[in-house]
Amino acid sequence: MSTIIEAPRTPRERSSKGRVNWEKWGWLYMRLSGVLLLILIFGHLFVNLVLGEGIKEIDFAFVAGKYATPFWQWWDVVMLWLAMIHGSNGMRTIVNDYASHRTVRRVLLIGIAAAAIILIVLGTLVVFTFDPCNTFIPADQALTFCPVN
């Protein structure tokens, strides 16, 4: 049996009218999140690696300083969410393109979705519950403003 690929501008069939076209929204999401990710990723790299002392400045105290401000917390969380959904949706496209076996495709798609959800939840928790004076840090390595000092 041969597969017929319609011309790109062929109008959609009547039966699909009224339904949400998820593939279209996914396609748009990749482009829009791509533009935002350019700003977020290169802004992140510039602030961390170019401004101030550059890479030499990055240590626990640097991270603690950034996560003391809601601005950087939200910057990182938005970057995490956009990149994880962008990356996993992109991987979904690749799996759909190349994994022709139904079960293999299903397992891969579930794996991608699970990885994305776990990393988004963990990453968001880390950013918003980050405590620079947590009790796991040995007293001799604690930051100067922590109560143990």
Min dist. Cβ of residue 20 to ligand HEM (A): 19
Answer whether 88's CB lies under 8 Å from 112's CB. yes
Min dist. Cβ of residue 49 to ligand HEM (A): 15
Q: Considering only CA atoms, which of 48, 59, 60, 56 is closest in space to residue 133? A: 60
Which phi and psi angles does 64 have, rounded to 5°?
Answer: -60, -40
Map the footprint of ligand HEM across residues 13-32, applying CB under 6 A: 30-31
Map the footprint of ligand HEM across residues 29-58, applying CB under 6 A: 30-31, 34, 37-38, 41
Min dist. Cβ of residue 26 to ligand HEM (A): 9
Task: Name the residue type at position 117.
Answer: I
132: exposed, middle or buried (Cβ count in 10 Å: 0-12, 13-18, 19+) = middle
Minimum CB distance to ligand HEM smaller for 94 or for 133: 94
Determine the length of the chain: 149
Answer whether 125's CB lies under 8 Å from 111's CB. no
Residue nearest to ligand HEM (CB): 90
> Which DSSP state fits 56?
G
Map the footprint of ligand HEM across residues 59-98, applying CB under 6 A: 83, 86-87, 90-91, 93-94
Applying CB under 6 A, the residues found at the interface with ligand HEM are 30-31, 34, 37-38, 41, 83, 86-87, 90-91, 93-94
